[in-house]
Structure 1
C-alpha cells in the first residue's frame, strides 16, 4: 500500500482533500449477471473488466479482487481476459432452496482506491431434479359405505426445481372406482385428491392398488410415482374431530432436542377400533419429518434435532388423525421459531498494515474491517468500536464495512507500538460481542488448555479397601494467568458393567484427589478404565483429558473350596475302599480343592490333621493324594477316619477341612460280614430276612469272583505289554496337555484313579461300590515341580474324570 507524500501549502491541502473525497466516494450501481446452475468450473459469467471500465491487465495492477462473505467462494476472477468465472460447481437448490429467484451477492474491491462495487449473480435453474413423494407407498382404509363423490387428499410431490421445471401435473392409474381431481391452492401448489366414483364392496374386492404419478414441465420430462393401497373396511359413521382447526406454537431456537412442543387432540365418538385415533404427519416436508417427532397415540409433537432460526423461521405441518376404520381428519400446525442471540458477530480484516511510519498523516488508512452477524432484527444489528484513548477512529462504509484510519499524528518516541482492540457488539439480549486485535509492530494472543504431567496414569489399590479412602491425585498445569489458570477436575461420564463410574469413584474438583466410593472386589473386576478432564475457568472454557487405569490387587479373602470328595445327596456317608493287600504307597483317594484368589493366595497345600489310626495313611502336600503309609494288617479296623486340611499361602492363610471314611477289607464277603456284625437281631421272625440276605450275599460273591478273575487277566495282559515296551515308563513328556488344568495361574495334573471297593453304611442301608482297581500313582510335570506350584482342579475336570462304578443296595 502506497502512502502519499506530505503536502505543503494550499496546493498540497487541496490535493489531500481531493484524495480523501475519492476514498470516501460510494460505489456505482449493482452489477448483474446470470449463470445456469451445475456449470463446469471456470465457466464464463460476465466481463467484469468491461463493466468496471477497465482493461483486463488493470485487474492485477490495481489490486482488484472479490470480497466474499460466505463459507465457500463460488466465483473467481480471470485476470488474463478480465472476466468473472465460476470457482466450482453451483447447486441452486443448495443455495436458495425453492426460492423463485436465486441471487448471490458479493463485492468487488478496488484496493488502490478503496472502492467497493456490489455484484449480483442470478443462478438460473435447470431441470436436474425429479418430482418425489415423501413416501414410496401410501396405505389407507376406506369404508365400504363411503358415498360416491368422496374426495381423499393425496400427498403432493416435491420438486426442488422452480418455474417450469417444477412439478406441473398429476396422473392416477386407471381404476373403475377412483378418479383424480387436482386443485390449486392459494399458494399455487397443486393438491391431488382421489375421488370415489362408485360404491365399494369389500366382499367383492377388499384391496385396490393404484399409482399416482407426478410430472414436471422440464425437457425432458421427469416424474415420480407413489404406490397407493386402498383397503376397504366395514362401516364407520363418525370421523375423528380435532379440537382446533389450526394449532400454533412459538418456541425459541435453543430448545433442547426431545422437548415437547405441543399436543394435538382429536376425538371420535365411535366405540372400539372405530374410536381409536392415531396421529401421523401428512404432506410435510422431508426436513420437517427429520426435525419433529409425532407420538401416534398421544398426539405429542416434540423436537428430535436442534432448531435453527437462521435456517427455518416457520415450520408448517399437517397432522392427520385416523380412526380404526380409516376415517380421517386433518389439522394444521405452525411452529414458529423465535430468534435468540446465539451467534456472535464475525469480524474479518480485509486489508491491514502491520507497520506504519511515525509521520503518518491523520486520515491514513490502517485496515479495512468487515462485520457480519447471522442473527436477525436487533440480534443482527451490530456496532463496531475501538478504545477512545487511541489515536485512531472507525469510519463506516456501505454493507457493514469499516475502515480504521489515523485520527492524529503518531509519535514513535512517545508510544513505540499500539495494540488496537476492535469490538463488535450486537443489540441482542443479552448482547454478544466479538473482539479482534490489530497490532502495530507487536501483538501477542495466546490461549492454553490445562496440561497434565503425564499422558496416562496407572493406580494400584488392594481389594477390600475402605470406602471414602483417597487413592490417587492428578495434577494439571495451565500456562495462562488469573481465572484462565484456575483448573477444576471432573470425571468424564462413563459406565462400567452397566453402572455409572460416579458410583465407584469421585474426584475433588479443586485438588484432583480421587476417592473410592466402594470397596473393590478383585474377584469381580481387576481393572477399571476412566478419564479425568481438567477444565479452566476461562470463557470459553478450555479442557484436556487424561486416561487413568485403576488396577485392583488381590488379597487372601477366599477360603479354599473342596471339590472332591463331596458328601452324597442321599444322606449317607461316603466311604473309600482300601484292600488289606494294599502295599505302602497305594493310592486310596485324592482330595481336590480350588481357591478363587490368585497368585500365592491360591497356592494350596494338603495336610493330615487327624487319623483314627496314626501312621496308617499319609497325604501328599501338594497333590492331596491319600496313600497308605505302611502295609495293612489284620488288626487294622474296618473303618478308618481321616481329617484332611487344605490351606492356602495367603497372609494370613485360610483353610478348610474334609473328613474321609476308608473301609479296609480284602473281599466283599468280609465287608458284609463286618457290616452284619454291626447290627444284630434277637427277633426270631427275622430268620426269613436273614435267609434272603445270605442268598443275595452268595450271588454277589459269585459276581465279584468273576470280576476279580477278569481283572487279573487284564492286569497280566497290561504287565506283559509293559514288559515289551519298557520305554513307556519314561513317557511323561508325551502325556496329553488335557491332563493339566489351571485356575488363576495354578496348574494341576489329575489322573484317573480308582479303588477296589468303596463302602457306605448306616443302620438301615448299605451301598457297596465296585470301581475298576487302579494302582497307578499321580504324576506331576517336571516344570510344575521346579516351580513348586500348588495344584488344584475345577469341578468340570473332576466330572470328566469321574470313575465308572455300580452300586448294589442291600
Structure 2
C-alpha cells in the first residue's frame, strides 16, 4: 500500500485531475454513467446522484434514496444519504474485477422508495499502472545445441502484466552474455514476444551454461519492471527438431464435463533416434490460471481437464504447447478450446424492497415488494419469467429489465386470512429449465372493523339469596375477531331507567367480565334484577355491543314460621279457649294460624300437637292447624288443658315455632273462671303419663312370660306322650300284674281307658276316631293303632 501511495504522489496534478474527471450523462434508457480510476482511496468521490437525478439537496432522506444491494455480491460503492453523493466504499482493483477486458464497468441500481423508481448506474473503472511485470516462473532453463547456427532464435519466457495499454509491458532487455542478443516482435494482438538470438558460436566444452537476466518493463509513469533468470544449457548436436502434426488444435466441449476428461491430444514427430528423438510435451506461454485448469501429459501429449469450466467465466481458452526432443530442439503449436453454454445456473432472485406489514384496508395496487432477478447463463438459458400462486390476492408487474413489483390485486381481510406466505418463483427458459423460489411472509395489520359480539342475544342466571358479599354471579365472554387493542374488550354494567341504584348491588370486572354481588340479596325484598352488559373494544374509534341480562334471586329457607293466632300476650299469660262439656268428637275448639315469609316449599307449613295435658283428647289438622276434640269429655278430665302446638315449614333444614294453647272445659267464661279458681294445682300430667306407661309395660311383660310357660308345658307333655308310645306294644309296667290275666282282661282295661279319651278335633272327626280306635277287633293294639289321624290331631287324656 505504501508503494501505491508513492506512485500516486508522483503523478502530476494535471494528470490526476484528468483521470478523476467524471463523464456523467443520462442515456436514453435512464442509466447514469461515471468514470473513475482504479485504486482510489475509500470514500473517494464518484458522482452526485441526487443532482443527476434532479433531486434537491435538502430533505433527501424523505425520498428514501438508497442503493439496491444483492446478497453475496461485493459492494464497492456507498451512498451519502445527506448529500446524495456516491463514494467508493473500498479499494477497487480493475484487474481483479475485469481481468484483461479493455473496458471495465461496474453496474449498480439505486431506488427512490418514495416514488418506487429504480435507476441504473454504470461506473467505468480506468486502468492505472499498479502492477509489476512478472515472469512465471522467474527462473527458467533453456537448452541450446552447440551446433546451432548463428542467428538461430529461441523463445524466451513471456512476462505478465495485468495492466492495460501503456501500463502493460512495452520493452524487454537482456544482460549477462555476449553470445546472445534479444529480438522483440509484436503480434497481431499487440503483445510483445521476446526471442533469444545466437550471435556467437557455442562450445559446450568451453562453457556449458550461460546465465542471462531478462528484464520486462512497462510504459507507466513511474515505470515498473520485472526480471527472470535464464539458464542456457549447451547441448550436444541434434539435427532434427520435433514437428507437430498440425499447427492449431481445436476442441469444443460443454462446460459441465467432469474433471479428468480428455479434451484434445497433441502429437509431434522427431526423426532423430535415441535421446534426441524422445519428445517431451509442455505448455508454452500459458498463464497460471490456464495451467491450473488444464493438465498436459508430457509423454503422450494428452490434455485433460484439471479444474472446472464455466462458460459464464470464459467461453474460449487459447494457449500454446511445445514439443521438445532430448537434444533441445522444439516445435510449437496452438490449442484453442471452445466452451458451449449449458443451463447450469439457476435464476437468482433478490428482494430489494419489502413491506412485511400492510393494513388490511390497503387499496388495490399497493406495492408489497420489489424483486430483482438475474441469471448467469446466456441466451434462452438466461431468460427468466417470474410467477406466484394465482389464487393469492397479489400480482407481479414487471417494472423494468430484471425488476418486478409485487402489488395487491384484491381486497384484504385480516379476519379471514391474517398472514400470507407468498412463494415467488423465477424460472429460466433453458432445457431443462431451472428455477429459484423465495418466500415472502406478509402480515396484515388490523383495523377496527368488527365490534365485540356475545355468544347469546340474552342471558338468564340464578343466585341463591343470602349470598356472600363479593360472590361471583356470572361470567360474560364476548369475542372480537380483531387484533391487539382492537380486540381488547372491557365490560361494564348499564342499568335501566328505573334501576339507578344498581351499582350498589352489582359490579363487573372490566377485564374478565365476571359479575360480582356487592351485597347480600334477600328474596323477600326482590326476586328479579334486569340489567345490560356492554362490551367495548379498544379500537379508535371504539366499537361496542350490549346484551340483556336477567338475574333471578332464588329463595332460601331463612324465615321461621310466624304464628299469628293465638298471639302471645305481652303480660306473659296465655290465651284461653273454651270447650263446652257436652262437645261431641270433632268439635272445633280453635285454629292455630301461622305464616312464613319464604316461598315455595319453604313456606309449606305443617302443624303438630307436641304436648297435651290429656293425650288423645285433642287432635290438630296437619295442614289446617284446626284443634278438634277426639272424644267426649269425661268427669275425670282436667278442666284446664294445656296444648303445645309445633308449626314447622318444609325447608331443608326445616324451621319451626311453637305456641301454647290453653283450653278450659266450661260452657261459659264465668263458669270457667270459677272452675279454674276452685281447682288446685293438678299433678304433673307428665308424671301420670309416665306411671301409666310403666304399668302397661309391666302388665304386657307378665302376659308374655305366662304365655311362654304355658307353651313350654304343652311341649314337655307332648314329648312325654311320644316317649310312652314309642315301642310297638303298650308298656304297662306301672300297673299290677294281677290286673292283666288273659286276653279278656287286657281288652277290658283298654276299653275302660278309651272311654276317658277326649279328642280335640271337631265332633265328626272325634266320633270317627273314637269309633275307629275303641272298636278295634285286633287281639293286641299297637301305638300306631292309637295314632288315629297320622299325628295331625292333638289328643288330650284326662
TM-score by length of 1: 0.50
What is residue 98 of structure 1 aligned with on the other side? 100
CA displacement 1:601-629 (0-9 Å, x = unmatched): xxxxxxxxxxxxxxxxxxxxxxxxxxxxx
Q: Distance in 2 between matches of 1:27 and 1:390?
A: 37
Asked whether 1:407 is paired with 2:409, we answer yes
Give SS of 1:441's match.
Answer: strand
Shift of 1:240: 0.6
For 1:242 and 1:418, the matched residues in 2 are separated by 68
Pair 1:177 & 2:179 matched: yes
C-alpha deviation, 1:115, in angstroms: 1.1
1:32 paired residue number: 33
1:441 alignment partner in structure 2: 443
Alpha-carbon separation, structure 2, partners of 1:217 and 1:231: 32
Matches within 5 A, 1:197-212: 197-212=199-214
Alignment of 1:18-57 (within 5 A): 29-57=30-58
1:419 Cα deviation after fit? 2.7
Q: CA deviation at 1:319?
A: 0.6
CA distance in 2, matches of 1:304, 1:168: 33
Provide the residue aligned with 1:59 in structure 2. Answer: 60
The reply on whether 1:290 has 2:297 as its aligned counterpart is no
Q: 1:581-602, CA deviations, whole angstroms, 9 ceiling, x for partnerless residues?
A: xxxxxxxxxxxxxxxxxxxxxx
How far apart in 1 are the matches of 2:59 and 2:203? Answer: 81
- The reply on whether 1:123 has 2:125 as its aligned counterpart is yes
CA distance in 1, matches of 2:83, 2:30: 23
Partners of 1:263 and 1:77 in 2: how far apart?
A: 53
Which deviates the most, 413-422 or 371-380? 413-422
Distance in structure 1 (CA, Å) of the matches to 2:33 and 2:58:
22
- Following TM superposition, by how much is the alpha carbon of 1:207 offset from its aligned partner in structure 2, in angstroms? 2.1
- In structure 1, C-alpha distance between the alignment counterparts of 2:289 and 2:60, rounded to whole Å: 44
- CA 66–27 in structure 1, closer or farther in 2 if over 3 Å, else same: farther
1:326 to 325, 328, 334: 328
Q: What is the deviation of 1:333?
A: 1.1
Secondary structure at 1:359 match in 2: coil
Distance 2:328 2:209 in 1: 13
1:164 aligns with 166
SS of the residue corresponding to residue 233 of structure 2 reads strand
Give the drift of 1:288: 0.7
User: What are the superposed Cα offsets for residues 633-688 of structure 1, whole Å, 9 maximum, x if unpaired?
Assistant: xxxxxxxxxxxxxxxxxxxxxxxxxxxxxxxxxxxxxxxxxxxxxxxxxxxxxxxx
SS at match of 2:358: coil
Task: Indicate if the aligned counterparts of 1:27 and 1:118 stay in contact, CA closer than 8 A.
Answer: no
1:15-73 deviations in Å (ceiling 9; x for gaps): xxxxxxxxxxx996322222222222212111222212223333311100011346111
How far, CA to CA, are the matches of 1:228 and 1:344 in structure 2?
A: 49
TM-score by length of 2: 0.50
Q: Report if aligned partners of 1:55, 1:82 keep a CA contact under 8 Å in 2.
A: no
User: What do the CA deviations read for 1:267-321 (whole angstroms, capped 9, x no partner)?
Assistant: 1111000100001111001101122221111112122222222322222121100
The 2-side partners of 1:148 and 1:168 are apart by 27
Matched ranges for 1:531-550 at <5 A: none
Would the aligned equivalents of 2:358 and 2:444 in 1 still touch at CA under 8 Å? Answer: no
For 1:260, the equivalent position in structure 2 comes to 262
Secondary structure at the aligned position of 1:61 is classed as helix
Q: Aligned partners of 2:114, 2:235: CA distance in 1, in Å?
A: 79
Three-state SS of the structure 2 residue aligned to 1:297 is coil
SS at match of 1:330: strand
Task: Give 1:85 deviation, angstroms.
Answer: 0.8
| CA shift for structure 1 position 382 | 1.1
The reply to whether residue 243 of structure 1 matches residue 239 of structure 2 is: no
- Quote the offset at 1:208 in angstroms: 1.9
Counterpart Cα distance in 2 of 1:82 and 1:64: 8
After superposition, where does 1:444-593 map in structure 2 within 5 Å? none
Q: Distance in 1 between matches of 2:79 and 2:409?
A: 35
User: Are 1:299 and 2:301 an aligned pair?
Assistant: yes
Once the two structures are superposed, the pairs formed by residues 351-750 of structure 1 within 5 Å of their partners are 351-412=353-414, 415-441=417-443
Distance in 2 (CA, whole Å) between partners of 1:392 and 1:81 is 37
Match of 1:338 among 333, 340, 343: 340
More deviation, 100-109/381-390: 381-390
8 Å Cα contact 1:206/1:231 also seen in 2: yes
Query: Structure 2: which 5+ runs fail to align?
Result: 1-26, 446-798
**Post-superposition offset of 1:144:** 2.1
| Contact 2:62/2:114 (8 A) holds in 1 | no
Distance 1:112 1:207 in 2: 75
Task: Please give the alpha-carbon distance, in whole angstroms, between the structure 1 residues aligned to 2:245 and 2:319.
Answer: 17
The number of aligned residues is 418
Alignment of 1:259-278 (within 5 A): 259-278=261-280
Distance in 2 separating the partners of 1:226 and 1:213: 7
Residue 356 of structure 1 aligns to a residue whose secondary structure is: strand
2:60·2:83 contact (CA, 8 Å) conserved in 1?
no
> What is the SS of the residue equivalent to 1:89?
coil
Residue deviations 1:162-182, cap 9 Å, x none? 122111111111633221111
CA-based RMSD: 2.1
Aligned partner of 1:68 in structure 2 is 69
Where 1:397 maps in the other structure, the secondary structure is strand
Q: In 1, distance between residues paired with 2:171 and 2:269?
A: 35
- CA–CA separation in structure 1 for the residues paired with 2:414 and 2:65: 33
Higher relative CO (CA 8 A, sep ≥ 6), structure 1 or 2? 1
1:397-421 per-position Cα deviation (integer Å, ceiling 9, x unaligned): 2230001122333345554443322
> C-alpha distance in 1, partners of 2:431/2:174?
54
Query: 2-side partners of 1:124 and 1:395: how far apart?
Result: 37
1:103: how far off?
Answer: 0.9
Per-residue CA deviation, residues 343-391 of structure 1 (Å, 9 max, x unaligned), is 2111111112223333333322121011111222222221111122333
CA contact (8 A) 1:211 1:225 kept: yes
Q: Is the 8 A contact 2:61 2:82 kept in 1?
A: no
Q: CA deviation at 1:327?
A: 0.5
Question: Whole-Å Cα distance in 1 between the matches of residues 330 and 295 of structure 2?
Answer: 20
**Do the aligned partners of 1:419 and 1:442 also contact (CA within 8 Å) in 2?**
no
Contact map agreement 2:140 2:228 (CA 8 A) in 1: yes
How far apart, CA to CA, are the structure 2 residues paired with 1:28 and 1:269? Answer: 64
Determine the C-alpha separation between the residues in 2 that align with 1:439 and 1:148: 80
Q: CA deviation at 1:442?
A: 8.2
Q: For residues 128 and 391 of structure 2, what CA distance do their matches in structure 1 show?
A: 57
**Alpha-carbon offset, residue 79 of structure 1:** 2.2
1:67–1:27: structure 2 CA closer, same or farther, 3 Å change rule? farther
Instruction: Return the index of the structure with the highest Cα Rg.
Output: 2
Kept in 2: contact 1:155–1:192 (CA 8 A): yes
Deviations 1:467-524 (A, max 9, x none): xxxxxxxxxxxxxxxxxxxxxxxxxxxxxxxxxxxxxxxxxxxxxxxxxxxxxxxxxx
Aligned mates of 1:397, 1:187 — CA distance in 2? 42
